Each structure stands twice: as structure tokens, then as C-alpha cells.
Structure 1
Amino acid sequence: MAQNNLARKLTEQPKPYVSKPEPTSIKRASISKALKLSSFEKLLIVCGSAILTVLMLVVVSSKIALSNSQHELQHLDNRITNVRNSNTNLKQQIGELQSSTRLDKIAHKSGMSLKNANIRNVTK
């Protein structure tokens, strides 16, 4: 048991004396309520506001121009589609009008006949 007490004595160290800190006075800086702007700062604010306004107007006008261009493009696409459909219909009508059965019917009504001796094959 003596050894246990010895170990305790070796590990325990005396606590140093710490004195209480002396109260210090805190100096407070006085803050002025309003800062005055110099003429250069005022000029910067006015110029910055003017530039910002111009940029906003440019963005809005470019959006409007883009919208108008998209509208015109859609209108042109619709016209192209209509013309293509019309061309397809006209090509189909040409094919029907050039069919040999139709031409034979018209020839028989007019009193014409087809003779093989009068047919010539032409090649390029």
C-alpha cells in the first residue's frame, strides 16, 4: 500500500497560483451615423446605374427580336410545308393524267387506234 500512496504523490503536482485579472476599461469607438459620399463616388453610382439600365434594355430588346425571328421562322416553315404538299399533289395528278389507260380511253373516244407498225422506240 505504501507504493500506491507514493505513486499518487508523484502524479499529484502542486497547482500554481493564478491571480485574478484586473478589470480593464474597454474603449468604445464612436461610429458616425452617416457617411458622406464624395463626388467621384456619386459619379460612379450614376454611371453604373445608367450602364445597368442600358444593359437591361438591350437584353429585353434582344429577347423581343429573338421571339419575332422565331415567329417568322415558324411562318416560313408552314409555308414550305404547304408548298411541298401542293407539289406532291400536283405530281400525283401528273402521274394520273399520263397513265396509259387514261390516254387509251381518250384515244378511243376520239376515234384513234393504236397500231404497232406506227410505234418507234427511241433511245438516247
Structure 2
Amino acid sequence: MAQSNLAKEIFQQAEPTYTPAQPVAPVKPAEPKVKAKARVGFSTFEKALGLTGSLICVALMIVLVSSKIALTNAQHNLQQVDNRISKVQSQNTNYKQQIGALQSSNRLEKIAHDSGMSLSNANIRNVTK
């Protein structure tokens, strides 16, 4: 019987002491943890490539603007030259009309008659080569 008493003693020692439970806030289920993606830095080559590309773009923009300005200036100069050519051509046309009017045979005969000259068919020679 000694053994049966031993079991009772172990059972009585193993019995937990009861303490009144305090109200606990409801536990929210834990959200699954998502690992944040690690940012990978740019390499030196990528930085140099980006900088070079940016510089090339800026240079091309400057070249484009300067070429547009040069084209506009060239068109302006061309228009001025065309205007001068038109003026010279109109002056040449006016001078040709004046030459034609001054060379008219009626005018020359009138000037000759006023100067006391006369037209004699015997004095006219036709020269041909």
C-alpha cells in the first residue's frame, strides 16, 4: 500500500495552483510578414551611362535649337537677297524701257531735224559681214 500513497502524493504535488484569470484583450491574428524588397543601388557603370546619356540629350537639344536659329537667319538673309534681286531686275526693266524710248526712230529724226540735219537715202550704207 505504500505505493498507492506515493501516487497520491505525486498527484497532489503536480496539481497546479489556480489563479484567477485577468481579462486579456483579444489577440488579433498576426498578418503574414512580407519581406520588403531590398533596393539594389546603381553601379558606377550605370551611373556613368545615365550621366552620359543625359549629357548627349542636352547636347542634341542645344544643337537642334542652334540649327533652327541658323536656319531662320539663313532664310532671312535669302529673303533680303531675293528682294534686292527683284529691285535690280525692276530697275533693269525700267532702264531697258528708257533705252528703247531714247532709241526710237521718231525721236532721233526729230532731234536731227531740230539740229538742221536731214535723212538722205543716198548717204545710207548697209554693212554686212
TM over 0.5: yes
Higher-Rg structure is 2
Residues 9-47 of structure 1, C-alpha deviation per residue, up to 9 Å, x if partnerless?
A: xxxxxxxxxxxxxxxxxx875233744222221111111
- CA 1:120–1:28 in structure 2 vs 1: closer, same or farther (change >3 Å)? farther
Residues 67-109 of structure 1, C-alpha deviation per residue, up to 9 Å, x if partnerless?
A: 1111111111111111111111111111100000000110111
Structure 1 unaligned spans of 5+: 1-26
Code of the residue aligned with 2:120 in structure 1: it is K
- CA 1:109–1:56 in structure 2 vs 1: closer, same or farther (change >3 Å)? same
Deviation at 1:56, TM superposition (A): 0.5
TM-score by length of 2: 0.69
Question: Is 1:73 matched up with 2:78?
Answer: yes
Question: Is 1:37 matched up with 2:42?
Answer: yes
CA distance in 1, matches of 2:56, 2:42: 20
User: Root-mean-square deviation (CA), in Å?
Assistant: 1.8
**Counterpart for residue 51 of structure 2:** 46
CA distance in 2, matches of 1:42, 1:56: 21
Code of the residue aligned with 2:44 in structure 1: it is S
TM-score by length of 1: 0.72
Q: Indicate the percent of aligned positions where both proteins have the same amino acid.
A: 61
After superposition, residues 1-124 of structure 1 pair within 5 angstroms as 30-32=35-37, 34-124=39-129
CA distance in 1, matches of 2:82, 2:97: 23
CA distance in 2, matches of 1:94, 1:66: 42
**Counterpart for residue 20 of structure 1:** none
**How many equivalent pairs are there?**
98
